[in-house]
């Protein structure tokens, strides 16, 4: 069935007016990285919001910097190298939005940058039936006192209608803003189908391995900012798409470094967000850089994925930049299997986001892995596997007592989980658990998907 359309609300404005704080307030949780340094938000972020029974998506954008390229110092101090790209990303969000909320700062008053942003928004409005589209609401942030509320009136000069005073940090006035948003949203067609659950695929890896470039190649558009500077992507970015009729959510994440090398402030919150993103994904694309040796950090990130019991596809990027012969790929596979030995069941793809080489195999492989993640084996097959395993390899003993497996069944999927009824769970050594897992995989490979086996004492 077709996914139900949700209206899209874009939050825009110059840098450091509190867009990310408002985004978090509307989303109901801290999704966007918030920092006092102007220019912290770079890519677009999307989250679902609900008010009075109306559900809509809200998108956070990087600050529009109208001073870029005019010989003036950029407003976005932390993102000075990306002002052009941030403006383009914000304009893309406005172009696809059903409603725009321009945010300004009561404390700073009306600035030349605010006036230019307002002009940019008006120029980007599309015309439908003689009415401006999308509609624009003006929210005046940081109105956390009576005096500040009075300052909101000065923003009438922007010509965007009645200013709505709010404090995104404290939640003051956000109810009035949400009332205005819901009232201005276009009606949702009543004949649309129910929303279909999508497959969440997270792109994870160390900084600067090409995750954003890979996402853009998969989508065929410049959905996120791509830069050779490590750490460009700070937030997890969700992108909805459909592949062969299957709805997919692609999630690009900030590069994850070793905990000892994580800087305080923005990068720390970005890593926390990436780990949270892994937990809400179905499949993780673990991206490796073919031009650098496999590191302990690659294994560390893989550990994050497996600790969350997520399925994995290893994607070796930048394969075009490697000098190779007939044996190079097999040697690299052997190295991956050795250094990431707990990923021996995981598919490995050698690709180039730059040239597009083998990128077309990534989504089919990820969907195949997700299908395995949802596979359920018949109970009769599970017990036949367990009996044959015990015949081949005698169960372990401890203190003269032998482990006995009476019965087993797969009780859930995502990941495939098997519960075994045994005489004493303490007798189940981890090596025998691994042996049983391998026997199950011989009957059904479960490619890219971890298997959970839980021994439980049989009830008398």
Full residue range of the structural domain in which residue 396 is found: 379-457
- Mean pLDDT, to the nearest integer, of 388-403? 93
Residue 400 lies inside a defined structural domain of this protein: yes
CB within 8 Å of 451: residues ≥ 6 apart: 415, 416, 417, 418, 437, 440, 441
46 and 84 share one domain: yes
Are 70 and 84 in contact by the 8 Å Cβ rule? The answer is no
- DSSP line for 139-181: EEE---SHHHHHHGGGGGGGSSSSEEE-BTTTTBTHHHHHHHH
DSSP letter (8 states) at residue 369? H
333 and 387 share one domain: no
Q: Please write the tens of the pLDDT for every residue from 327-356.
A: 999 999 999 988 887 677 999 999 999 999
334 and 388 share one domain: no
Of 373, 395, 419, which marks where a domain is finished?
A: 373
Residue 22 lies inside a defined structural domain of this protein: yes
Residue 95 lies inside a defined structural domain of this protein: yes
- Mean pLDDT, to the nearest integer, of 104-118? 89
At residue 417, does pLDDT exceed 90?
Answer: yes
Tally Cβ neighbours within 10 Å of residue 43: 23
- Mean pLDDT, to the nearest integer, of 361-379? 96
Tally Cβ neighbours within 10 Å of residue 307: 12
Are 13 and 104 in contact by the 8 Å Cβ rule? The answer is yes
Only one residue has tokens 């025998």, namely 432
369 and 386 share one domain: no
227 and 365 share one domain: yes
Q: Which residue would you say has higher pLDDT here, 43 or 137?
A: 137
- DSSP line for 253-280: -PPP--GGGPPTTHHHHHHHHHHHHHHH
21 and 125 share one domain: yes
3-state helix, strand, coil in the chain (%, to 5): 35, 25, 40
pLDDT band at 264 (very low <50, low <70, confident <90, very high): very low
CATH number of the domain to which 151 belongs: 3.40.50.300
Of 184, 216, 243, which marks where a domain is finished?
A: 184
Q: For residue 128, what pLDDT is reported?
A: 47
CATH number of the domain to which 388 belongs: 3.30.300.20
131 and 252 share one domain: no
Of 320, 351, 373, which marks where a domain is finished?
A: 373
173 and 79 share one domain: yes
Distance CA 358, CA 352 (A): 7
211 and 89 share one domain: no
Residue 1 lies inside a defined structural domain of this protein: no
Residue 194 lies inside a defined structural domain of this protein: no
HSE, side-chain direction, 13 A CA sphere, residue 48: 7
pLDDT band at 366 (very low <50, low <70, confident <90, very high): very high
Residue 193 lies inside a defined structural domain of this protein: no
42 and 92 share one domain: yes
| pLDDT-wise least confident of 170-174, 264-268, 269-273 | 264-268
Residue 2 lies inside a defined structural domain of this protein: no
Only one residue has tokens 């990130």, namely 301
Number of domains in the chain: 3
245 and 368 share one domain: yes
CB within 8 Å of 139: residues ≥ 6 apart: 22, 101, 102, 103, 104, 163, 164, 166, 177
Q: Please write the tens of the pLDDT for every residue from 182-223.
A: 999 987 655 444 445 789 999 998 888 999 899 889 988 666
Residue 409 lies inside a defined structural domain of this protein: yes
At residue 130, does pLDDT exceed 70?
Answer: no
23 and 137 share one domain: yes
């Amino acid at each position: 069935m077709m996914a139900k359309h949700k209206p899209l609300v874009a939050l825009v404005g110059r840098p450091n007016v509190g867009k990310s704080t408002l985004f978090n307030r509307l989303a109901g949780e801290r999704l966007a990285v918030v920092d006092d340094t102007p220019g912290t938000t770079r890519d677009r972020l999307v989250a679902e919001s609900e008010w009075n029974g109306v559900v809509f998506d809200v998108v956070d954008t990087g600050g529009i910097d109208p001073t870029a390229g005019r010989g003036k110092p950029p407003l976005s101090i932390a993102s000075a190298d990306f002002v052009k790209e941030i403006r383009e990303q914000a304009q893309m969000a406005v172009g696809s939005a059903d409603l725009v909320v321009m945010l300004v700062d009561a404390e700073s008053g009306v600035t030349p940058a605010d006036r230019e942003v307002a002009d940019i928004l008006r120029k980007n409005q599309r015309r439908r039936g003689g009415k401006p589209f999308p509609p624009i609401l003006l929210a005046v942030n940081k109105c956390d006192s009576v005096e500040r509320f009075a300052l909101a009136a000065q923003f009438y000069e922007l010509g965007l209608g009645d200013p709505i005073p709010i404090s995104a940090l404290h939640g003051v006035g956000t109810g009035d803003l949400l009332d205005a948003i819901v009232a201005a949203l276009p009606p949702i067609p009543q004949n649309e189908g129910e929303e279909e659950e999508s497959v969440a695929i997270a792109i994870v890896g160390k900084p600067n391995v090409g995750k954003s470039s890979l996402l853009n190649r998969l989508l065929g558009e410049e959905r996120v900012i791509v830069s050779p500077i490590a750490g460009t992507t700070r937030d997890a970015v969700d992108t909805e798409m459909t592949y062969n009729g299957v709805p997919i959510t692609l999630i690009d994440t900030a590069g994850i470094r070793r905990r000892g090398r994580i800087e305080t402030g923005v990068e720390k919150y970005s890593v926390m967000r990436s780990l949270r993103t892994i937990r809400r994904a179905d499949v993780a694309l673990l991206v490796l850089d073919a031009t650098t040796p496999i590191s302990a950090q690659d294994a560390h990130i893989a550990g994050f994925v497996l600790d969350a019991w997520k399925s994995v596809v290893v994607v070796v990027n930048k394969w075009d930049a490697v000098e190779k012969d007939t044996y190079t790929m097999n040697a690299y596979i052997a190295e991956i299997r050795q250094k990431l030995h707990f990923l021996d069941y995981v598919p490995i793809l050698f690709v180039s986001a730059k040239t597009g080489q083998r990128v077309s195999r990534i989504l089919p492989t990820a969907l195949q892995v997700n299908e395995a993640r949802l596979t359920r084996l018949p109970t009769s097959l599970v017990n036949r596997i367990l009996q044959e395993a015990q015949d081949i390899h005698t169960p372990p003993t401890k203190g003269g007592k032998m482990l006995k497996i009476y019965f087993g069944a797969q009780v859930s999927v995502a990941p495939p989980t098997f519960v075994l009824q045994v005489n004493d769970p303490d007798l189940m050594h981890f090596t025998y658990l691994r042996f049983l897992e391998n026997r199950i995989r011989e009957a059904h490979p479960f490619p890219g998907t971890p298997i959970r086996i839980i021994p439980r004492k049989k009830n008398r």
